[in-house]
């Protein structure tokens, strides 16, 4: 049943009010107001520090003034990143700060570091990009409110005109020579004001794009810093993973296989004593059966241990290994593989373990009735896509197994993404360079 016209109009007005003056919109508005004065003050201070420091650069105080200016630009970048994070929800990765031993070492590190030079460039260029959202606030919000409230502000919203004959005339808002000072004419500024307020959030968002791009490019970490940080993290994860694997192997060998082999040796000793004592055949056969069972179980433990290091199924290639994994899964799994070339062993192993973990998660947590595994090699990337029709809600982090998979994938410069809206479906995509 269609809603009545007044109800639809009131719903649209409420939506307009929330979009224009809601908490999120007000946070963006506050950023648009603060960004330009902050950028302008930072630009003048940085410029003054560089000019005076350059003039005095032949002296020691001049070098210290330049170093202090660069450090101030870095602090200004940190403040701008904090404002962008708190008010815009934009996370900009911080660059690595220069460090040196002693005051002289600190000064040399600050003057030579690329992050400082980029921060100075950001401070000098920020006013040119921050003026755009400031203008958008003035046009969209200030004029929008003034036009909308023109009937109430009309007694004060006028200017005085002195006529040639000496008389004084108060002129209100005019359009094509006609004063908007009566009720029918007030509809024009009110409508224009509402349109400006409706467009203000969109105008401000687009006006902020150049400033966000400048902060990301110059006030944040550059590509080399991010690459170094990623390599450090992946190296640490690889070392931790190797250490955890060694501990697991040692524990499994000590608690499982070693104990069974010790038991096998003890049973063989008992069999020798029974044979020497010419015991009854049934007692000897019982001891032999027990020893045989221990030997079989020790072999199974060793196979399981080796499979955890390198699955034997991968000796026949990734498609065959994934086919065996799909056949052993508790869910019906649709497998599609298209590999023009065989990836290197490390990539095959990571893809196999990712598929195994994701299928196990689908069985244990998703409540799915089926899953799909799709593997392709294209443009130098092995792309593994595991999907299920479960309840969704999977998130990378928050203690989930996806965090461990992401750490494993990043050791070879791979990526892992998860698309799992509430209600499903869940699609996890792993990309690995072949």
The counts of H helices and E strands in the chain are: 14, 9
pLDDT tens-digit series, residues 18-65: 777 778 888 888 999 999 999 999 999 999 998 988 888 778 888 888
pLDDT tens-digit series, residues 70-99: 889 889 999 999 999 998 888 888 887 777
Last residue of a domain, one of 279, 309, 339: 309
Assigned domain for 55 exists: yes
| Pair 268, 176 in one domain | no
CATH number at residue 348: 3.30.565.10
| Pair 151, 300 in one domain | no
| Pair 342, 286 in one domain | no
What lies within 8 Å, CB to CB, of 67 at 6+ separation is 106, 107, 110, 111
Number of neighbouring beta carbons within 10 Å of residue 228: 13
pLDDT tens-digit series, residues 325-356: 888 888 888 888 888 788 888 888 888 888 88
Q: Hey, is 1 helix, strand or coil?
A: coil
| Pair 180, 250 in one domain | no
Six token digits for residue 216: 């990301």
Last residue of a domain, one of 194, 219, 244: 219
| Cα–Cα separations (whole angstroms), residue 333 to 323, 328, 401 | 9, 10, 20
Assigned domain for 1 exists: no
- What's the whole-model pTM score? 0.55
What lies within 8 Å, CB to CB, of 134 at 6+ separation is 32, 33, 35, 36
Range in 118-132, 170-184, 239-253 the model is least confident about: 170-184
In angstroms, how far is CA 74 from the centroid of its own chain? 23
| Pair 166, 37 in one domain | yes
d(CA 351, CA 382): 8
| Pair 65, 101 in one domain | yes
d(CA 145, CA 128): 26
Question: Closest by alpha carbon to 231, among 416, 99, 413?
Answer: 413
Q: What share of residues in the chain are helix, strand, coil (percent, to 5)?
A: 70, 10, 20
| Pair 257, 319 in one domain | no
Assigned domain for 3 exists: no
Confidence band of 1 (pLDDT split at 50, 70, 90): very low
Question: Closest by alpha carbon to 322, among 304, 340, 339?
Answer: 339
Question: Closest by alpha carbon to 132, among 36, 28, 213?
Answer: 36
388: alpha, beta or left, given left = phi > 0 and alpha = psi -120 to 50? beta
Cβ neighbourhood burial of 388 (10 Å; 0-12, 13-18, 19+) = buried
Mean pLDDT over 366-374 rounds to 84
pLDDT tens-digit series, residues 241-293: 666 666 766 666 666 667 677 777 777 787 777 778 777 778 778 777 777 77
Confidence band of 176 (pLDDT split at 50, 70, 90): very low
Six token digits for residue 254: 């000590």
| Pair 69, 213 in one domain | yes
What φ, ψ does residue 420 adopt, rounded to 5°? -145, 75
What are residue 178's DSSP bridge partners?
Answer: 175
Q: Of how many residues is the chain composed?
A: 434
Assigned domain for 4 exists: no
Number of domains forming the structure of the chain: 3
Determine if the peptide bond prior to 155 is cis (ω within 30°). Answer: no
Structural domain span for residue 358: 313-433
| Pair 197, 318 in one domain | no
Q: Which residue has the higher pLDDT, 403 or 223?
A: 403
d(CA 43, CA 121): 9
Assigned domain for 135 exists: yes
d(CA 268, CA 28): 79
| Pair 14, 122 in one domain | yes
Last residue of a domain, one of 219, 244, 277: 219
Residue 434 and residue 382 in contact, taking contact as beta carbons nearer than 8 Å? yes
In whole numbers, what is the pLDDT of the chain averaged over residues? 78
| Pair 253, 324 in one domain | no
Q: Hey, is 376 helix, strand or coil?
A: strand
Rg (CA), the chain: 35
| Pair 252, 359 in one domain | no
Assigned domain for 2 exists: no
């Amino acid at each position: 049943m269609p809603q009545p016209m007044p109800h639809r109009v009131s719903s649209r007005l409420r939506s307009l009010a929330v979009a224009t003056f809601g908490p999120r919109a007000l946070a963006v508005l506050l950023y648009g107001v603060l960004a330009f004065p902050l950028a302008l003050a930072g630009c003048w201070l940085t410029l003054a520090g560089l000019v005076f420091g350059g003039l005095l650069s032949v002296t020691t105080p001049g070098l210290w003034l330049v170093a202090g200016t660069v450090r101030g630009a870095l602090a200004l970048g940190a403040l701008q990143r904090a404002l962008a994070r708190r008010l815009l929800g934009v996370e900009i990765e911080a660059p690595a700060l220069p460090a040196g031993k002693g005051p002289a070492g600190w000064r040399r590190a600050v003057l030579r570091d690329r992050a400082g030079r980029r921060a100075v460039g950001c401070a000098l260029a920020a006013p040119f990009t921050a003026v755009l959202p400031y203008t958008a606030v003035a046009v969209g919000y200030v004029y929008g409110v003034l036009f909308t409230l023109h009937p109430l502000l009309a007694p004060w919203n006028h200017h005085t005109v002195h006529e040639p004959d000496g008389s004084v005339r108060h002129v209100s808002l005019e359009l094509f020579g006609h004063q908007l000072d009566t009720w029918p004419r007030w509809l024009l500024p009110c409508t224009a004001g509402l349109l400006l307020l409706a467009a203000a959030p969109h105008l401000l968002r687009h006006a902020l794009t150049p400033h966000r791009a400048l902060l990301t490019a110059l006030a944040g970490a550059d590509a080399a810093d991010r690459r170094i940080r990623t390599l450090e993290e992946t190296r640490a994860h690889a070392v931790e993973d190797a250490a955890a694997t060694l501990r697991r192997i040692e524990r499994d060998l000590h608690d499982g296989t070693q104990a069974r082999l010790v038991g096998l040796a003890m049973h063989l000793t008992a069999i020798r004593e029974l044979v020497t004592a010419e015991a009854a055949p049934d007692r000897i056969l019982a001891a032999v059966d027990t020893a045989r069972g221990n030997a079989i179980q020790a072999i199974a433990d060793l196979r399981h241990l080796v499979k955890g290091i390198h699955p034997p199924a991968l000796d026949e290639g990734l498609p065959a290994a994934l086919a065996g994994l799909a056949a052993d899964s508790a869910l019906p799994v649709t497998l599609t593989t298209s590999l023009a070339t065989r990836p290197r062993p490390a990539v095959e192993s990571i893809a196999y373990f990712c598929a195994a973990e994701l299928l196990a998660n689908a069985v244990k947590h998703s409540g799915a009735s089926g899953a799909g595994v799709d593997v392709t090699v294209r443009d130098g990337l092995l792309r593994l896509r595991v999907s299920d029709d479960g309840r969704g809600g999977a998130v990378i982090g928050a203690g989930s197994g996806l965090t461990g998979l992401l750490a494993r994938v990043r050791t070879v410069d791979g990526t892992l993404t998860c698309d799992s809206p509430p209600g499903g479906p869940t699609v996890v995509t792993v990309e690995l360079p072949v």
